[in-house]
Structure 1
Amino acid sequence: MLDENLHTILAYHQRSKHTLERYAAGPETLDWDMQPDPFRRFAGSAVETLPLFADALPYSWAELFASGRIAPQCFSRESLGALLELSFGLSAWKQYGPDRWALRCNPSSGNLHPTEAYVIAHEVAGLPDGLWHYAPREHELELRAGLRPGLPQARPHLWIALSSVMWREAWKYGERAFRYCQLDTGHAIAALRYAAALLGWQARVIPLDTPTLGALIGTDRDSDFAGAEAEEPELLIELYPAGASLLAPLDWIAPGTWTGKASRLDPGRRLYQWPVIEQVAEATRHQLPITERPRAAPPTTTQPRLHADTAAATLIRQRRSAQHFERRASMPLASFLAMARSLLDDALPFDVWPHDARIHPVFFVHRVEGLQSGAWVLPRSRRGEQVLRATLAADMKWLPLGGEAELPLYLLADTALATTLRTLCCHQSIGADACFAVAMLAEFSTTLQEDPADYRRLFQEAGLLGQVLYMEAEAHGFRGTGIGCYFDDALHDLLGIRDQKLQSLYHFTVGVPLVDSRITTEAPYPARSAEE
């Protein structure tokens, strides 16, 4: 069965690549009036409106990274509201002419938002125990099921589960949508971890097989999703104060308490079907048993991290995806090195991730003051460096950065690559106009041979790194944007990759944004802000 799953995954990965000759299979036309609803609701569920509490948290972005600086908040309706507000809630409304759309704190490919969030709350002050679905547009919780009586009373418990509505991405991106859903899950993990840190909480992914997670959060309840788009369970994260033991609420849902019917998201008839998405989803579902492998220590540095004194809640909500960059702008070397260093830490937000680093960024530096333009690689583990050295082109320079930076950053090639990157990023100007671009290389074939289901984890880890770059760019006065559209094997050819030991799973760019003044911005919850 593992061999069959691996074959399915490798076949999907190859067919979902963009090439210079063709794009991966996708819709030939888009009717924007038929875009799937980005907001799911469960009709018939009891609703709890959450308070907007984030602005009551006074800490700066820098203070998130100071160990012990933020005392843990109690698990309460207010603190849970802040957690969800700053991770999955709306960050703004935008309008251009008659078109109006919402932005969220967790970014999404095409702003389509396939990720749904569920809350399992036990003894959270001011909130009935239960499994809740989060509705970000209204900042509300919908009760899906109650918890059984007689649960442990030692302390309150709080978990967040994530699922993906893959049709939301497939509507626009066709077969490549599975990749984007996993990247979005990775972004959501990091967004949740940052929000938890602002409340003084720890967070960690709980290893849980896919069928058990689906039964826990009700995504396997066909009757509740009749006529509606399915949700694919992704993972479970526990929130806890420092030093608490981790556990999974495997049998906590009370039988016979399920309520609510999932809303239909597609307003019309589907013009396209993409069965390969369900095939790769099935092949990557974790089955029993799941065992955690020991996690290797990342490279360390004694250099202090540079952080902004901006209020953390403000910085989180101001994160945007740049649409265009100022092509003449440059970046100070200190800012670039701080962003690179942020991808190495074994602390926030990577402490949420219980797996070894398998994603390694290659930076294509266009305009960083005092740094040679060209391709630079940052191995995030000793094992990764060995794989990179053995797999990348033999004529790569591998010149260490040196100096006082204490970063395992190596110059591979000192060729100007801006024009090439524009081509490789599906001919998008952001690939050339940014101060630097990033290709995230995965330890691919070896990881999948160990467990084919880790195909999801590789993309999720890449998305996690992408969220770090988003936030670090904002903290240093720049802006980032994730790029899912690139020519996979053309990039591999540029780096001399001739097999599947390494594969590029995500691209990212950082630069000085050009803002369209015609687009107006409105507060995320204007009516409620006025009330509260």
Structure 2
Amino acid sequence: MATQQPISILEYHQRTKHFLDHYAQGPGTLDWADQPDPFRRFEGCTRFQLPLAGHVPSPAFSLLQQGEKIEAQAVSLQSLGLMLELAFGLSAWKQYGGDRWALRCNPSSGNLHPTEAYLINTANEDLPAGLYHYLSHDHVLEKRGEWNTLPEFQGLLIGLSSIHWREAWKYGERAFRYCQHDIGHALAALRYAAAIQGWSVEILAEVSDAAISGLLGLDREQDFLPKETESPDVLCRIHTGAFESVTVMDPGGLADLAVDHWFGKANRLSHYHHYQWPVIDEAALATLKPSTSEHYESRTSDHRLVLKPSSQSAGDIIRQRRSAQQFDAQTSISLVNFFQLLLALMPCRPMPFDLWPWSPKIHLFLFVHRVEGLPPGVYALPRESECLMTLKEMMQDAFIWEPVDGTPDQMDLYCLLRADCRKAAKTLSCHQGIASDGAFSLAMVAEFGDELENQPWRYRRLFWECGLIGQALYLEAEAIGMRGTGIGCFFDDAVHEVLGITGSRFQSIYHFTVGKALEDKRLQTLPAYFHLNQAE
């Protein structure tokens, strides 16, 4: 009997598209009794309580774009706690009747939070050297591992992983895409949180997934339930300015960090797992990254990309970030604020794109509804000028590609079509009113190209880059008194048809919208860590 060939990542992408007449495969109904626990815990670990930041002042949001003006903080439990809290911690609780759920500083599709964060610490005397899992619910570090002899490497590493089951419970086969979006959002959230401390973040891009898995203990099958394992995603180094004698962290250097003693077992997240989505495991296997030699693009950050400086605290903006559920369908955005938002998405912007070591592969197509001084219509914002001619050749012949007057020098914005596109935007985004009721929505279109055939792990990076863009939009929208929300549900090929895209050279892989949010007055908002005070 012939064995079935494993799925390629391009086959997975095509298989998990939504179409106007049917959606990608997902659960027919949601088994609410088996909804995954949003908090991973490791039972049997020593726990280290991190101090809550409370009202500790943080720099103005605008100053994060001028990192050299922010004094680097010493590594301590206080500074580590603040970084982890603002990157991955709770931002609030919402309650409706007898139901209560947590919101976090890093957004997630469906508030399901497949992303887990780990800290490797050899730098701080306040915290014993070791490998730790961050539990956001309790704002604690769970010690998962330690060494017989302290490694030569001195510093801090952050590892991120994904529990695919958390997303698949609700979204079925398309969930692998959403987990990758969430990693991108988490990377950006980490970058903003580190910047508040005067620290920077470096992606250790050469490292293989197998090395990350071994380093974080994700390959220890005995510590996890079979259907609730974690997949390795990315390893980052936090540069604090205190341990710069070690300037290079290559894949070979990770052997020095191999843990000698392990602690703890992962908690059960669900009981039944009625629905199974083996194609997600196939996609994860297809995109497993080997150890690589990376080519980094030389790029200079531009600190001038702030049109309207915000004096609001960066910490406050991060904590108040929410995903809008509904817009008022009336409020316009000023042209200056619109340009401010778009400038925040350019690759030369320091925050959060200074951690991204590759040339941009994501370009933006906007459905403008209510921007003062700008006619409604479809617009294009290429994030890499060298791709402009290719985009023009691929798009609709009827598009006019007219440069928008007054656009800041650091970006090129083009009007493609003047029209009321609210109905089209709503239809393309799975008939969701949030795409038409805001000031504008946009599609993030990725360069797929031939490299995904030979280097399929780059598929995940495309979604990570979208997550970086989305997180920048979230925070910049808050800074101008607006609100954003990511849109993972859209009709893939219908979007391509509207734009004139054929073939697989370009693919729309994430949508986003910004506007004036309507608050649901029925919901009660509770402080992020009120439950810790109640337990005392």
Q: TM-score, normalised by structure 2?
A: 0.94
CA contact (8 A) 2:484 2:514 kept: yes
**CA RMSD between the two structures:** 2.0
Q: Deviations over 1:458-483 (max 9, x none)?
A: 01111110001000100110000000
The one of 154, 158, 161 equivalent to 2:159 is 161
Change (3 A) 1:491 1:301: farther
Q: Hey, what's the Cα distance between the residues in 1 that align with 2:235 and 2:54?
A: 23
> Quick check: 2:160–2:232 contact (8 Å CA) kept in 1?
yes
* Structure 2 CA distance for aligned equivalents of residues 54 and 312 of structure 1: 14
Out of 470-479 and 371-380, give the one that drifted further: 371-380
Residues 262-294 of structure 1: CA deviation (Å, up to 9, x unaligned): 11101x211111110000100101113x12123
The alpha-carbon distance between structure 1 residues 150 and 259, as it changes in their structure 2 partners (threshold 3 A), is closer
1:148, 1:240 → 2: CA distance? 25
2:364 to 344, 361, 365: 361
| SS in structure 2 of the partner of residue 86 of structure 1 | helix
Partner of 2:450, secondary structure, is: helix
> Does residue 399 of structure 1 match 2:402?
yes
Name 1:47's counterpart in structure 2. 47
Q: Where does residue 89 of structure 1 map in the other structure?
A: 89
**Shift of residue 223 of structure 1?**
1.0
- Deviation, structure 1 residue 169: 0.2
Partner of 1:240: 239
SS of equivalent residue, structure 2 residue 69: coil
**Counterpart selection for 1:485 from 485, 489, 492:** 489
Q: Does 2:345 correspond to 1:347?
A: no
Q: CA deviation at 1:142?
A: 0.6
Structure 2 residue 336 is matched with structure 1 residue 334: yes
TM-score normalised by structure 1 residue count = 0.95
User: Which residue is 1:520 aligned to?
Assistant: 524
Structure 2: segments with no counterpart, 5+ residues: none
1:388 to 386, 391, 396: 391
Distance, in Å, in 2 between the alignment partners of 1:346 and 1:368 is: 23
Query: What is the CA–CA distance in structure 1 between the aligned matches of 2:152 and 2:165, rounded to whole Å?
Result: 38
1:189-338 counterparts in 2 under 5 A? 189-207=187-205, 208-227=207-226, 229-241=228-240, 244=244, 245-247=247-249, 250-253=254-257, 255-266=259-270, 268-288=271-291, 290-295=292-297, 297=299, 304-338=306-340
Aligned to 2:476: 472
1:227 touches 1:264 (CA, 8 Å); kept in 2? Answer: no
SS in 2 for 1:349: helix
Using the alignment, how far apart are the partners of 1:525 and 1:340 within structure 2? 34
Pair 86,382 (structure 1): closer, same or farther in 2 beyond 3 Å: same
Query: Partner of 2:507: helix, strand, or coil?
Result: strand
CA distance in 2, matches of 1:499, 1:411: 24
Amino acid at match of 2:12: Y
**Residue type matched to 1:461 in 2?**
E
| Aligned 8 A contact 2:122 2:150 in 1 | no
In structure 2, the residue matched to 1:128 is 128
Task: Work out whether 1:500 is the aligned partner of 2:495.
Answer: no
Contact 2:303 2:349 in 1 (8 A): no
Task: Note if 1:20 corresponds to 2:24.
Answer: no
Q: Secondary structure at the match of 1:55?
A: coil
Contact 2:53/2:78, CA 8 A, preserved across alignment = yes
CA 1:105 to 1:348, structure 2 compared with 1: closer, same or farther past 3 Å?
A: same
Give the Å deviation of 1:527.
Answer: 4.5
Q: Distance in 2 between matches of 1:272 and 1:525?
A: 34
State the alpha-carbon separation in 2 of the partners of residues 193 and 358 from structure 1.
20
Q: Name the residue aligned to 1:110.
A: 110
- Alpha-carbon deviation of 1:77? 1.0
What is the CA–CA distance in structure 1 between the aligned matches of 2:57 and 2:375, rounded to whole Å? 41
In the alignment, the residues of structure 2 paired with residue 180 and residue 364 of structure 1 have an alpha-carbon distance, to the nearest angstrom, of: 22
Distance 1:216 1:531 in 2: 34
Equivalent pair of 1:116/1:134 in contact (CA under 8 Å): yes
Structure 2: distance between partners of 1:219 and 1:277: 17
What fraction of aligned residue pairs are identical, expressed as a percent?
47
Cα deviation per residue 1:205-225 (whole Å; 9 max; x = unaligned)? 101111011000010111111
Per-residue deviation at 1:148?
4.4
What SS class does the counterpart of residue 56 from structure 1 fall into? Answer: coil
What is the CA–CA distance in structure 2 between the aligned matches of 1:58 and 1:468, rounded to whole Å? 18
Query: What is the number of equivalent residue pairs in this alignment?
Result: 524
SS in 1 for 2:255: coil
Contact preservation (8 Å) 1:384, 1:443: no
Deviation at 1:105, TM superposition (A): 0.1
Q: Which residue identity does 1:196 align to in structure 2?
A: A
Query: Aligned AA for 1:405?
Result: P
- 1:404 offset after TM fit, Å? 5.4
SS class of match (2:229): coil
Instruction: Give me the whole-angstrom Cα distance separating, in 2, the residues matched to 1:82 and 1:173.
Output: 32
Residues 54 and 145 from structure 1, CA distance in 2 versus in 1: closer, same or farther, beyond 3 angstroms? Answer: same
The amino acid of 1:306's aligned partner reads K
Hey, what's the Cα distance between the residues in 1 that align with 2:453 and 2:225? 36
Distance in 2 (CA, whole Å) between partners of 1:165 and 1:31 is 18
Contact map agreement 2:215 2:258 (CA 8 A) in 1: no
CA distance change for structure 1 residues 75 and 302 in 2, over 3 Å: closer, same or farther?
Answer: closer
Counterparts of 1:404 and 1:375, CA distance in 2: 16
Conserved 8 A contact 1:54-1:313: no
CA–CA separation in structure 1 for the residues paired with 2:497 and 2:301: 28
Q: In 2, distance between residues paired with 1:329 and 1:185? A: 32
Partner of 1:182: 180
| 1-structure distance, mates of 2:325, 2:249 | 42
Counterpart residue number, 1:370: 373
How has the CA–CA distance of structure 1 residues 254 and 348 changed in structure 2, closer, same or farther, with 3 Å as cutoff?
Answer: same
Q: 1:212-251, CA deviations, whole angstroms, 9 ceiling, x for partnerless residues? A: 1100001011111145610000000111035942415512
Measured after TM superposition, the shift of residue 399 of structure 1 is 0.7
SS of the residue 2:8 aligns to:
helix
2:312 is matched by which residue type in structure 1?
A: T
Unaligned runs of 5+ in 1: none
Q: Where does residue 461 of structure 1 map in the other structure?
A: 465
Tell me if structure 1 keeps the 8 A contact 2:215–2:257: yes
